[in-house]
Amino acid sequence: MAKFGKKYVEAAKKVDRTKTYSVAEAVKLAKETNIAKFDASVEVSFKLNVDPRHADQQIRGAMVLPHGTGKTQKVCVITQGPKEQEAKDAGADFVGGKELLEDIQKGWFDFDVIVATPNMMGELGKLGRLLGPKGLMPNPKAGTVTMDVTKAVNDIKAGKIEYRLDKSNIIHVPIGKASFTEEQLSDNFQTLMGAITKARPSTLKGQYLKSVTIAPTMGPGVKLNPIKLAQ
């Protein structure tokens, strides 16, 4: 059995593991149970009853949260020609073409998101083995493969998040920081919840949301009632 520190054990006592909470109660508890010495992220995990082997059940997408995530993302734009200046003007942290791809190949990952213009995807695709496992491969669905570099960079800087189903059928997404107000965390959660609900495959039968949990980094998880959320 995993050993937890005193602070975690004390924080966990505030959460009744036998019950599910409302959104308002859950975000309040997530703030109260933050034991980190830094401004911890508050994350939500959705366990979905889908089969990702079916193309229409591979849930993924991107959106800008109303209050952002509280984290400033470093953006790397892979492009060439006039789009390079556009990316710099938009506030991208790193801009370039093949020279940046060579740096990545050598193990450089000093960024959080890659935006690429479509003409660079042939070269970028060769780095799939490096970028894929880290979740860094740009994707048209997420708006990170685009000719509108300005919009892509602005959205990411404004607090855009990507969500995608992992191998355990779970989506993990940050919805803010422990320093956010309860209203800000609730707003962000409800916006994300709306997108996840909207992404429900039309062919799916039965319950879509298996479980929903909100937790601060290093803190205990607070379970929400998935049936009430789906109504």
pLDDT tens digits for range 79-118: 999 999 999 999 999 999 999 999 999 999 999 999 999 9
Residues 40 and 143 in one domain: no
63 and 165 co-located in one domain: yes
**Residue 6, domain member (yes or no):** no
Tell me the CATH number at 117: 3.40.50.790
**pLDDT tens-digit profile of 44-72?**
999 999 888 888 888 888 888 999 899 88
Q: How far is CA 35 from the centre of its chain?
A: 22
5 domain residue, yes or no: no
The domain total for the chain is 2
Q: Which of 106, 140, 158 is the last residue of a domain?
A: 158
165 and 153 inside one domain: no
Same domain, 86 and 141: yes
Query: Is there a single domain that holds both residue 140 and residue 85?
Result: yes
The residue out of 158, 182, 206 marking a domain boundary is: 158
Among residues 158, 182, 200, which one ends one of the domains? 158
State the Cα–Cα distance between residues 155 and 174, nearest whole angstrom: 16
Which residues span the domain enclosing 151? 75-158
The answer to whether residues 184 and 67 touch, using CB atoms and an 8 Å cutoff, is yes
pLDDT tens-digit map of 127-176: 999 998 888 999 888 889 999 999 999 999 888 888 888 888 999 999 99
Q: Are residues 101 and 209 in the same domain?
A: no
Same domain for 153 and 180, yes or no, is no
Task: Examine the domain organization and report whether 172 and 64 are in the same domain.
Answer: yes
pTM (2 d.p.): 0.77
